[in-house]
Amino acid sequence: MTSTLRKLCAAMLFLTGAPILLSAQKPSNGEMRRLIDDNMKFAAAQYRVLQDSTPADRMPRTFQNGRSVTSNTEWWCSGFYPGSLWYIYEYTKDDAIKAEAERRLAILEKEKRYTGNHDIGFMIFCSFGNAYRITGDKKYKDVVDTAAVYQITRYRPTIKSIQSWNSSKDRKCPVIIDNMMNLEQLLWVAANGGDAKFRDIAVTHANTTLKNHYRPDHSTFHILDYDLSTGEVIKKVNGQGAHDTSAWSRGQSWGLYGFTMMYRFTKDETYLQHAKNIADFLLNHPNMPSDNIPYWDYNAPQIPNTLRDVSAGAIMASALLELGQYVGKKDRKKYVGAAAGMLHALGQPTYRANLGENGGFLLKQSVGFFLQNSEVDVPLTYADYYFLEGLTRYKKWYL
């Protein structure tokens, strides 16, 4: 690259505040530093907009049809907004961001005894867990410890799994791939002074998921329904996927993240190999776009004329960065290079909002439940959360 072109790119960066990718290869360390700095500062400013549009007793959920949509604290995503605030504070040391995080934790704390479904891990560990990691304040750890006690009330010994959702007329005992994410809370509590039973339950659940959820090509079903009396699988379906044999994108990312995290806590090579298998399935998938931000389902019938799911991409990028910590040099280059490219793509105008727009959310173009036209092509709190986590991880591990 000529010096003139470099100067032009530098001038564009100064004027726009946007990071410029200087090559088609993995972004350089300098490019990644600018990307992280730009997006964290943007997040601090943008989340003031999100704060102002969210009532004091509610949590942000999405922005749709020109209006903000909020939730109560029982909604499964309620921990992502305060968790994102903690990531922003960790980078910026902005006391106003910290104060907002503390206000939102205050209304969320009552959910530490929530037993309505499996998502207490998302709700509590992503929020209070980050608060404790950053501040060291024991009051936050106490909340996480309590949440783990209530989380395992949904463990069902006959199926060797934590029941995800309550039974209904259509399902007796559903377990979803998303549940892998919530095992982190149990493993962390066990590793930080808690009862070993939390770890035992998490490991048992992960082993059952590995045995039953995955296909030979290393893709996963979304939902398995179990017979509680016999422990047998009644049916395997792709509830939010295109069809029952497809690879629903966010579910694949949940699995990649979950089994990588399992290796972190257990050092069981089976989990590491499975995470690598998932990563390779995704990165080599013939329907994966060139920027590695996947369509909402890898087998969606309208590809390429269908929607991307930015949330699946953000989760996947963060997971690949952790996976890169545990593998050899060749695989590290592959996984971290892909994740860096994904983070760079997510930080560009195609996927990232302009300041003051998008209801205050950072990222656009996520897909909640395509088949029910629910939260389709909108911002979602967990897309923002895992994007910020990915930026934080890259700075910590690779710069």
What are the binding residues for substrate?
Answer: 119, 178, 250, 254
Whether the upstream peptide bond of residue 304 has omega within 30° of 0, thus cis, is: yes
Q: What does each C-alpha distance from 197 to 149, 188, 190, 358 come to in angstroms?
A: 10, 12, 8, 43
CA 129 – CA 136 distance, rounded (Å)? 10
**Catalytic residue check, 52:** no
Euclidean distance between CA atoms 233 and 225, whole angstroms? 6
DSSP 94: -
Annotated binding site: 119, 178, 250, 254
Cα Rg of the chain (Å, integer): 20
Separate counts of helices (H) and strands (E) for the chain? 14, 9
Residue 290 buriedness (CB in 10 A; 0-12 / 13-18 / 19+): exposed
Q: In this structure, is the dihedral angle defined by the CA atoms of residues 125, 111, 148 and 258, taken in order, positive or negative?
A: negative
CA 272, CA 249: separation in Å to the nearest integer? 20
The CB density around residue 95, as the number of other CB atoms within 10 Å, is 9
Q: Which of 38, 94, 145, 178 is catalytic?
A: 178
User: Residue 69 carries which side chain, given as an amino acid letter?
Assistant: V
Where in the chain does DSSP place strands (E)?
59-64, 67-71, 155-156, 161-162, 174-176, 223-226, 233-237, 366-369, 374-378
Which is catalytic among the residues 94, 119, 145, 384?
A: 119
Q: Which residues are catalytic?
A: 119, 178
